[in-house]
């Protein structure tokens, strides 16, 4: 029997948390022979902590053989202690009339605190995946506070966007989902993201040859993927939760699977024209469990370059909004 992995989850009583924890405990994220201890962190709010107790009761009631313990806390020092994975989902939502700059700053303070604490108390092999929005910039902020843990351990999630793009391409081409490969998300997890359709393949053919409607690829396809979150809110009256949790399972599982090729947001080293020091969605290949290399060398045409420049510009602006916080 392997030693249990300690998995810290912030915002654990929220809607993504509710869709995620049961899948981690069932083995979907780390495999069917990997025991886990869940370290659940919530905001110091009575209602949230009470809800968390209910979630823990339900986890108990599932009798998951792999679940070896549950910690419930509103103290991040306790929650991140010795954690091998830190899944940062909790964030302050954008309130009515709230400016984007204020949202960035309010979340910036949360992620500065969490970055510092993770660096101080998490396990030496700790890896961090950020979901709470604005995810790329929150990830950059948390990583800015780390002195012990290297910045490549900090990744943000763009996998939901990749999964959305894969499905849209399959539907348009009228093929099974599994026929669509190598669709990657570049840039910010926001409507400015770029799903690089030109490199995707459908039944082994380049996507633009399989779907010859280039106006659809450049227009409605990119727009549908970029604005899918808003469409779900409009339809469901609440933001994506089960699909976001599922995407995080995919993000972490693929990062733990050598050879997997997938999109994650990582610290830019200038590839694809992204400014160094923004966290941008990119294609990566997992090398060893938890480690990856960015896949460089995909050619970008004029349309792709304009999309990359636009999403990079937004990331640079977000970084500027929080520059004074990170020093
Ligand atoms: P909920 O509002 O349902 O849950 C968030 C939870 O976080 C709450 O229970 C709250 O008490 C807790 N929380 C707030 N501040 C905290 C802190 N400092 N420490 C610990 N817990 C804290 O939101 P939910 O729908 O679960 O979404 C969570 C985040 O994911 C949001 O920021 C959302 O925008 C973001 N998303 C990101 C996605 C992505 O692809 N990167 C997609 C889905 C989602 O929109």
* pLDDT, tens digit (0-9, with 9 covering 90-100), for 250-284: 999 999 999 999 999 999 999 999 999 899 999 99
pLDDT in tens, 190-246: 999 999 999 999 999 999 999 999 999 999 999 999 999 999 999 999 999 999 999
Which ligand 1 atom lies nearest to the CA of residue 17?
Answer: 26
Domain 5-156 shares a fold with domain 159-321: no
- Residue that the structure tokens 């709230």 belong to: 98
Which ligand 1 atom lies nearest to the CA of residue 16?
Answer: 26
CATH number of 159-321: 3.90.110.10
Provide the b/e sequence for 162-190 (b: ≥16 CB within 10 Å): bbbbbbbbbebbeeeeebbebbbbbbbbb
Token duo for residue 217: 């690829």
Active site residue 189: yes
Residue 216 is predicted with a pLDDT of 98
Residue 93 is predicted with a pLDDT of 82
Return the axis-axis angle of helices 159-173 and 242-255, rounded to nearest 10°. Answer: 100
- Is the pTM higher than 0.95? The answer reads yes
Q: Kindly report the average pLDDT of the chain as a whole number.
A: 96
Residue 58 is predicted with a pLDDT of 98
What mean pLDDT do residues 129-149 have? 97
- State the pLDDT confidence band at 102, using cuts at 50, 70 and 90: confident
Residue 101 is predicted with a pLDDT of 82
According to CATH, the superfamily of the domain at 5-156 is NAD(P)-binding Rossmann-like Domain (3.40.50.720)
What mean pLDDT do residues 46-73 have? 98
With a 6 Å cutoff on the Cβ, whether 112 touches ligand 1 is no
Give the DSSP letter of residue 179. G
Domain assignments of the chain as residue spans, ordered by start = 5-156, 159-321
Percent of the chain with pLDDT over 70: 100
Start-end of H helices in 30-189: 46-62, 76-79, 100-121, 135-144, 159-173
The answer on pLDDT for 285 being more than 90 is yes
The answer on pLDDT for 288 being more than 90 is yes
Gyration radius of the chain's alpha carbons: 19
- State the pLDDT confidence band at 1, using cuts at 50, 70 and 90: confident
Strand, helix or coil at 247? helix
With a 6 Å cutoff on the Cβ, whether 132 touches ligand 1 is yes
With a 6 Å cutoff on the Cβ, whether 11 touches ligand 1 is yes
Active-site hit among 77, 189, 251, 262: 189
The answer on pLDDT for 100 being more than 80 is no
The answer on pLDDT for 95 being more than 80 is no
Distance between CA atoms of 298 and 187, rounded to whole angstroms? 15
Using most ligand atoms within 8 A of CB, pick from 226, 239, 265 the residue to mutate for ligand 1. Answer: 239
With a 6 Å cutoff on the Cβ, whether 89 touches ligand 1 is yes
Mean pLDDT lowest among 38-42, 193-197, 271-275, 320-324: 320-324
Percent of the chain with pLDDT over 90: 94
């Amino acid at each position: 029997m392997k030693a249990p992995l300690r998995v810290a989850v912030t915002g654990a009583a929220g809607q993504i948390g509710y869709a995620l924890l049961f899948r981690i405990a069932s083995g979907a994220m780390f495999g069917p022979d990997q025991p886990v201890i869940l370290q659940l962190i919530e905001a110091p709010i009575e209602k949230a902590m009470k809800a968390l107790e209910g979630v823990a009761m339900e986890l108990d009631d599932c009798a998951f053989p792999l679940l070896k313990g549950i910690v419930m806390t509103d103290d991040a020092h306790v929650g991140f202690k010795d954690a091998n994975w830190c899944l940062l989902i909790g964030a302050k939502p954008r309130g009515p009339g709230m400016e984007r700059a204020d949202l960035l700053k309010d979340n910036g303070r949360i992620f500065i605190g969490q970055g510092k604490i993770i660096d101080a108390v998490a396990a030496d092999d700790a890896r961090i995946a950020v979901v709470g929005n604005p995810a790329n910039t929150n990830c950059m902020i948390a990583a800015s506070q780390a002195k012990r843990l290297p910045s490549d351990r900090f990744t943000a999630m763009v996998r939901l966007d990749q999964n959305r793009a894969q499905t849209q391409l399959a539907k348009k081409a009228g093929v099974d989902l599994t026929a669509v490969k190598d669709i990657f998300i570049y840039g910010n997890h926001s409507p400015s993201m770029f799903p690089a359709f030109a490199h995707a393949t459908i039944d082994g053919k380049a996507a633009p040859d399989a779907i010859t409607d280039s106006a659809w690829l450049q227009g409605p396809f990119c727009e549908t993927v970029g604005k899918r979150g808003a469409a779900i809110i409009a339809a469901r009256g609440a933001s994506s939760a089960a699909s976001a949790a599922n995407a995080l399972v995919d993000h972490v599982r693929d990062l733990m699977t050598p050879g997997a090729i997938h999109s994650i947001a990582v610290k830019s080293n200038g590839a694809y024209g992204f400014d160094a020091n923004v966290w941008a969605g990119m294609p990566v290949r997992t090398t060893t469990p938890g480690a990856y290399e960015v896949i460089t060398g995909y050619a970008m045409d004029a349309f792709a370059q304009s999309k990359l420049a636009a999403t990079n510009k937004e990331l640079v602006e977000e970084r500027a909004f929080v520059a004074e916080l990170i020093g």
